Structure 1
């Protein structure tokens, strides 16, 4: 029997499961065009192939769990960045910049890789929940900033995020993308963006 690496069996299992998810996340982020097998993920996590099957029924099952595990992390990251901003305008910029940071660090590539291998229903549900949870604080900041139509303005802000995300994926560096976002949005946000 393998040695338990935690104070309880439950903690050990949770740590191994987390190690497998982290390994899958890393492999997909580094090589989004190569979908790893459960054996690849287990090897990267330093575990036996059979360990992966004791936590996940299949590769698709593992990727569905990874979607459900990853999207809330992204949402929490964006919300934390927005919460640290002092003004509505600064929160709007924080939303844009946090999303661009996620793209620059490879999280968007991870999302595309997950879309190609995960259960489309799980992905669609998680994606919808992610976007809803991200757009609510954006709409609130836009409302507080004085937007006449916060819902449509949120769509416009999101279109800026999408356009700059594509630019980052095509080689634009993060500081340049942030600079373009600020140049475009600052006139609207006025001095409130600080």
Structure 2
């Protein structure tokens, strides 16, 4: 796998509010945060651009709502902001896709000649997947570091319920099998980026 010299790392919604297990329910992949941190460190050390995305929920009960402590980035992410040698962007959004945020992510990437994006963050099947799908639709070479994402158990129609692991697998299969993104491990990304 090749990781471009100017590939952008898009860190999606790594916010304190996702630590409120009583709101979200059981999660998967307890190692995701370590993998996100590793990716940020590699991107910053190699001078590649990093995009930090924050979800500003419009739902008054959401732990991600503005003005509530859960809206902020997790400490390890906040501590890394502004530390890299490469370009950095902070995007806020109220919907699933980072491409529908402020400022305009697509315009920022294109102005820098970025054609490849690597995604990590929360939730695998929500904002990470939606951003990956849109990135693919917009013509980007999208790479999802699957083990640098996590999600939660989810109930759908007909009383169907999937565990967080099942939801994450379904998301990975849909993205990779559907041609929206290459779904890989953090280790593969790091090895290719060094």
TM-score of the two chains, using structure 2 as the length reference: 0.24
Higher helix proportion (structure 1 or 2)? 1
TM-score of the two chains, using structure 1 as the length reference: 0.24
Higher strand proportion (structure 1 or 2)? 2
**RCO higher in 1 or 2 (8 Å CA, sep ≥ 6)?**
2
